[in-house]
Amino acid sequence: MDFQTASQRGKLVISNIGLLLSGDLKQPILDADTIVAVDGRIAAVGKAKDVDTEGATVTVDARGSALAPGLIDSHVHPVFGDWTPRQNQIGWIESFMNGGVTSMISAGEVHLPGRPKDIVGLKALAITAQRAFANFRPGGVKVIAGAPVVETGMTEADFAELAQAGVGLLGEIGLGSVKTGPEARQMVAWARKHGIRSTIHTGGPSTPGSSYIDKDVVLEADADIIGHINGGHTALPLDQIRCLCERCHRGIEIVHNGNELAGLTALRFAKELGQLERVILGTDSPAGSGVQPTGMLRLIALLSSVGDTPAELAFCFATGNTARLHALDCGLIAVGKAADFVLMDAAQHSSGKGLLDSVQKGDLPGVGMVIIDGIVRCGRSRNTPPPTRLPEIVHS
């Protein structure tokens, strides 16, 4: 079948799932082996004998593979199409899909050459980016974009206009001229009033031209997400990271292109606070460190292995937690959610016994299939190590 042009309409049955990861921290593993999706949404989850698998348009035999919700990269910097000018690379989003990513959230289209910084121009860019990515999905990936970088001089009317035009996100505060606590707080409040979610750059400048944002500014701004709490790449001192975890209740975002020690420490603080539901994961790519098609899987393996966290919980950070904080209709294996899945197994020759053990030993899983909106988008990934067991389409 054609991976790219298949219709979302119809009935997809996935059988013989060896391990079903839900994306929900409260119950990360489901006692089920079959999923039915109708017209791109999950219609049933259960044991084969208990769900109606008749009349499938497409049947996938998971052959004992694990299935998780498709990964959500909470922090990317797309520009236009599947091209990034930062590393002059084409096809990066489709490559991420081969790393299990089915949704991405823009933290600002800041790499556009000649990016407009005047208020009319930045609003026009955000609206254009939102529209362009709503209309164009490389590899089927849902890129939620149109994230304006706020600049000094914006008024509440600008946020109202953006919201009215369909913009639902702000780019990282601190990448533009708004850098002080009081000014950031005002912009975040206006955004929130009009239903626009916000994130803030945390730590040292990422590249020449961006800024240093310390814990006092982050706390005063009160954005919905503490963007890359582990820096992008330069992190705040660990006592400031502790303070951010303890003194606000907002999302704790850990990124691949950040400081690993700071990321692991932030995870430990969240654990000690009993607030793992705040932890979300992103790559912060494209960036100076490049793009990493397996960046989300690498981060999950790092936090699980060195961070001593059960792998089934680490997958929740990259799926259900992010969907909840960003109000997305995916990221969970539950009836009514988008049929976005990644099928995986322990990589061939991993020392781990099965998917979870292999991730806890620090190995990347092998991706065997990615499904978005009920459509098979790729079979065996070209970017991960080969999985031990491989799902297959048995009827279409």
- Residue ranges in contact with Zn ion by CB under 5 A: 172, 201, 206, 232
To which H or E segment does residue 186 belong? helix 181-193
Q: Which residues of 163-172 are buried (b: 16+ CB within 10 A; e: fewer)?
A: beeebbbbbb
55 or 209: CB nearest Zn ion: 209
24 or 253: CB nearest Zn ion: 253
Q: Nearest distance from residue 390's CB to Zn ion, in Å?
A: 38
83 or 212: CB nearest Zn ion: 212
Closest CA to 118 of 138, 94, 148: 148
With vertex at residue 100, the alpha carbon angle to CA 98 and CA 104, rounded to the nearest 5 degrees, is 100
23 or 232: CB nearest Zn ion: 232
Q: How many CB atoms lie within 10 A of CB 42?
A: 23
Q: Nearest distance from residue 110's CB to Zn ion, in Å?
A: 9
Q: Nearest distance from residue 201's CB to Zn ion, in Å?
A: 4
With vertex at residue 271, the alpha carbon angle to CA 269 and CA 276, rounded to the nearest 5 degrees, is 110
Alpha helices in 334-386 (DSSP H): 354-360
201 or 278: CB nearest Zn ion: 201
Q: Nearest distance from residue 206's CB to Zn ion, in Å?
A: 5
Q: Nearest distance from residue 213's CB to Zn ion, in Å?
A: 8
63 or 201: CB nearest Zn ion: 201
To which H or E segment does residue 322 belong? helix 320-325
Q: Residue 163 half-sphere exposure, CB side, CA atoms within 13 Å?
A: 14
Q: Which residues of 130-160 are buried (b: 16+ CB within 10 A; e: fewer)?
A: bebbeeebbbbbbbbbbbbbbbeebeeebbe
Residues 6+ apart with CB under 8 A from 233: 203, 204, 206, 257, 258, 259, 288, 289
Q: Nearest distance from residue 150's CB to Zn ion, in Å?
A: 14
Q: Nearest distance from residue 51's CB to Zn ion, in Å?
A: 44
201 or 250: CB nearest Zn ion: 201
Q: 44 - beta bridge partners?
A: 36
